[in-house]
Amino acid sequence: MPSGFRFVSRRAGGVVQGDDAMRAPYGPEIIESSQSCLHREDGLFCNLPAPAAERLAGITSAAAYPKGATLFVEGQSPRGVFILCSGKVKLSTASADRRSLILRISEQGEVLGLPATVTGKPYELTADVIEPTQANFISRTDFLLFLREHGEAALRVAQQLGETYHSAIAEMRKIGLSHSAGEKLARFLLDLSAGHDEGKGEVRLTLTLTQKEIAQMIGASRETVTRLFADFKKKRLLQVKGSTVIIKNKARLESVASS
């Protein structure tokens, strides 16, 4: 079992509903059963045949993690996969001199540790919780046996691994081919704004990352990110209020990202 793994609830079938809902020891209320999380419509294992769904529920354990917890570490032997039910997790890699690069922020529905669990190679990234998170854990032994027994689930995992590969290539292209840190920061903010409703020509975002973490995502220094935020504010591209960022002129920000 992964270090720091704490059980929040372990009922028959993993179900916590209605008056049985619990509050996790770190604050967030556990309102979703492990089964409903596994089978959510946007999840990897939604609408599996009944035998596969029952088997999957039987090998899954639910837990809650506080902000700052680590699910697994780069270079660690794979112990299994984590399926996020709620919260956010940052995935990062580090160089020998301890410089860090954040590859992306994972959100609910994602399966973490999948490549390492399937191949048996060490985890390629470190997964750190950046806000209170509920996740399901499946050990590597149980997960591999499950895939051998249920072909449809194995096919979905293969498709997910392919999508992960293409996403990694896209991220490397975005970071490596951008000509300036300003382009990278503009693109980061625009990606963050995707799916947010615009009102009066503005987009309001809540940043869960520090400026140091943003720097690690775009391959720049924290000082550069601080300077760029000040520059964007001076040009009236952004307005910053604490952790809230308001994109005042999305069209001009898109111009910066593609310059």
CATH architecture assignment, domain 178-257: Orthogonal Bundle (1.10)
> Which are the contacts of 96, defined by CB distance < 8 A and separation ≥ 6?
none
Average pLDDT, the chain: 80
pLDDT at 198: 63
Q: Compare 137 and 172 and report the one with higher pLDDT.
A: 137
b/e 222-254 (16+ beta carbons within 10 angstroms → b)? eebbeebbeebeeeebbeeeeeebebbbbeebe
- Longest Cα–Cα distance of the chain, Å, equals 59
Assess whether pLDDT exceeds 80 at residue 100. yes
- C-beta separation of 111 from 137 below 8 A: no
Four-point Cα dihedral 227, 229, 235, 241, nearest 10: -140
**Least confident piece of the model among 10-14, 123-127, 211-215:** 10-14
- Report the SS3 class of residue 86: strand
Residue 177: pLDDT band with limits 50, 70, 90: low
Q: Compare 12 and 233 and report the one with higher pLDDT.
A: 233
**Least confident piece of the model among 12-16, 52-56, 212-216, 243-247:** 12-16
Alpha carbon 99 to chain centroid distance? 20
Assess whether pLDDT exceeds 50 at residue 230. yes
For the chain, residues classed under CATH 2.60.120.10 are 12-176
Pairing of strands 61-65, 126-139: antiparallel
pLDDT at 136: 94
What does the block give as tokens for 257?
């990202």
pLDDT digits (tens, 9 = 90+) for 110-168: 899 999 999 999 999 999 999 999 999 999 999 999 999 999 999 999 988 888 878 77
First-last CA distance in the chain: 48
Q: Compare 16 and 94 and report the one with higher pLDDT.
A: 94
Q: Which CATH fold would you assign to the domain 12-176?
A: Jelly Rolls (2.60.120)
C-alpha pair distances (Å), 77 with each of 2, 56, 74, 126: 10, 22, 9, 12
E strand residue ranges, 22-77: 22-23, 29-30, 61-65, 70-72
Q: Compare 121 and 18 and report the one with higher pLDDT.
A: 121
Assess whether pLDDT exceeds 50 at residue 4. no
d(CA 253, CA 256): 5
